[in-house]
Amino acid sequence: MGTIEGKVAFITGAGSGIGRGAAVRLAREGADIAIADIDLEGANETAELVREIGQKAHVVSMNAASQRQVDDAVASSAAALGRFDIAVANAGIARAGSILDLQLKDWQDQVDINLTGVFLTAQAAARKMVELKNGGRIVCMASLAAENTGAMSWAYSATKAGVRIMVRGWAQELGPHGITVNAIGPGIIETPLASMLAGREDGEIRKQVDERTPVGRVGQPSDIAGLIAFLCGPDASFMTGSYLIMDGGLRDARAGGMPDPTDPRAVEAMELIQQEGQRRQRLQPLIDER
Ligand code: NAD
């Protein structure tokens, strides 16, 4: 018997990485899963994994930056799966750039998805939970970048710092309805979004990240999924408005520094950035459709 047997969890960005890890873990804990993603191909793959575990999966195509699409996705998920207990506002993108170069479009997409998208998801989910009067759990994806930042990553950090602070206000408002709201701050987790930070399994970047991280390894989606399962389970009923870092100790580790361009790590990073760029080109038209 899992810790959230019979519940329904709605997860945005569940077609890849941490969201997919959360879908699989919450399914193992006994929940049926609504998989909301802009990338239907990835969402359908996650649905297969959930069904293999023996739980129901409902796939919904949704842009987290669109209020209409988020509201529709929450309504259709509750209707299809018959309940609505948990929401994980996880969909996010990363657009790096310096203060001299960052394009307004990249700033705006990042704010629309990472910050407004989390607000829209939490709002639609909270309204549904209040309507159903069964309480609920909302988990929002911030990042270690909500408190640590640097050159090129400050815009992403700004959106994540926003998530970190918003949940504290929502916790005040939703506590009386039996709904908890918490934020998670992952360190470097091996997913497509962070491929250039995590590197390849046998590459030089990975070697350096593993060495730099006090626990000796890069994070996996299953690590963060375990924390999400805790926040959605019975042991976390007294926790709300919190921001929980899970980073293998990276926050206080010594700085890694940028590799020299001739260093194999820099070459690997460029290849991984190009690879991620191809996925970005495929998904951008979908992000632009609101
Ligand atoms: P990922 O790219 O593997 O997964 C993100 C998912 O979100 C993808 O399936 C993508 O299609 C979906 N998505 C993107 N834009 C969307 C939109 N507008 N509407 C709906 N879905 C959309 O990335 P990930 O690493 O699993 O990231 C998940 C979350 O975790 C993000 O919010 C990210 O900022 C955060 N995070 C990741 C790391 C890390 O190291 N991977 C660290 C800290 C925080």
**What domains can be seen in the chain, in order of their start residue?**
8-191+217-257 (3.40.50.720)
Strands, sheet with 243-246, edge to edge from the N-terminal-most edge strand:
57-61, 32-37, 8-12, 86-89, 136-141, 179-186, 243-246
Res 2: pLDDT: 87
Closest CA to 227 of 185, 284, 266, 190: 185
The protein residue whose alpha carbon is closest to atom 42 in ligand 1 is 186
pLDDT beyond 90 at 255: no
Residue 14 CA, ligand 1 centroid: distance in Å: 8
Question: Could you tell which of 139, 191, 220 is best to mutate to test the pocket of ligand 1, judged by most ligand atoms within 8 Å of the CB?
Answer: 191
| Residue ranges in 175-258 assigned as alpha helix (H) | 195-198, 204-212, 221-232
* Closest C-alpha to 69, from 15, 139, 8, 120: 120
Give the model's pLDDT for residue 64: 98
Q: For residue 217, what pLDDT is reported?
A: 97
**pLDDT digits 0-9 by tens, 95-148:** 999 999 999 999 999 999 999 999 999 999 999 999 999 999 999 999 999 999
Ligand 1: atom nearest CA of 141 is: 32
Q: Has residue 289 got a pLDDT over 70?
A: yes
**Of 67, 68, 70, 82, whose CA–CA distance to 9 is shortest?**
82
Q: Which amino acid is at 223?
A: D
Cα(181)–Cα(170) distance, integer angstroms: 7
What's residue 264's pLDDT?
82
Q: Is the pLDDT of residue 248 over 60?
A: yes
DSSP string, 139-168: EEE--GGGT---TTTHHHHHHHHHHHHHHH
- Between the CA of 103 and the centroid of ligand 1 the distance, in Å, is 20
Q: Report residue 257's pLDDT band, with 50, 70 and 90 as the boundaries.
A: low
Residue 72 pLDDT class (50, 70, 90 cuts): very high
- The overall average pLDDT reported for the chain is 95
Q: How far is CA 104 from the centre of its chain?
A: 23
Residues belonging to the active site: 156
Residue 93, ligand 1, Cβ within 6 A: yes
pLDDT digits (tens, 9 = 90+) for 159-179: 999 999 999 999 999 999 999
Task: State mean pLDDT over 45-72.
Answer: 98
Q: Are 243 and 147 in contact (CB under 8 A)?
A: no
pLDDT tens figures, 84-95: 999 999 999 999
Measured from the CA of 15, which atom of ligand 1 is nearest?
Answer: 9
Exposure string over 95-113, b if 16+ CB within 10 A, otherwise e: bbbeeeebeeebbebbbbb
Give the whole-angstrom CA distance, residue 73 versus residue 117.
13
pLDDT at 258: 56
Q: Which residue has the higher pLDDT, 278 or 158?
A: 158
pLDDT (0 to 100) of residue 56: 98
State the Rg of the chain over Cα.
18
Judge contact between 80 and 99, C-beta under 8 A: no
Tokens matching residue 163: 């998530």
Q: If DSSP codes are grouped into helix, strand and coil, which group holds residue 220?
A: coil
Residue 46 has pLDDT above 80, yes or no: yes
